[in-house]
Structure 1
Amino acid sequence: MKKIEAYIRPFKLEELKKELLALGVSELRFFPVQEWSEVHVQEFYRGTVFEVDFVTRTVLMLLVEDEAVERVIRVIQNLCSTGSRQESGEGDGRVLVIPVEREVRL
């Protein structure tokens, strides 16, 4: 079993949830986070350029069986990549795959 943590742009969450549920994922958790890095992102608002220190992301966490990991990653990549990484240096997020030794339900 693996834990997948996906750091995605918030506006991608609803579509991603639908696709993961269609794939057979029965349980997931998500919450907002603020992400900081040394690379500052430039944003445009009403014709003005400004630098953003923190970027809002949504963290999606789910447990999947080993054989489903690649399918889940593919869905996340296909839905959440906007191709903006080259321009801003910020990127669209990241996906972590973490081994789970065991799960104990409470």
Structure 2
Amino acid sequence: MAEQRFENFTFHGGQQVFGDRNTVSQTNNFYYGDQRDEILGHLETIRSAAPEPAVVEPEIVIIEQALEHPTAEARSRVEHALGQLRHKLGTVQSATEAVAAIGAIAAVVAQYWPF
């Protein structure tokens, strides 16, 4: 931890605020690691394997937007979108890869959310 000494004051890391003229700001940057990349790869599989990509695109966009800010509300939207994708693709035999990708996304979200 950083240590700074000023005459007889010693500060150990953190933010120091004195009086009413100092301001402290904080910016949160989300780091999207392997799980986000994994989900994006599965979404591309769904896009390429879907018989009609335009039909699944709205749900894919919802998931991509939710990944940008992984909140509890966003997780709910992802789970709903995954259910819609299962419904749209579950009856199409040629979309087996897409259905497998949906299951993989659901597993990653369940285990790692928020990232």
Higher relative strand content = 1
Structure of higher RCO (CA pairs closer than 8 Å, 6+ residues apart): 1
Q: Which has the higher helix share?
A: 2
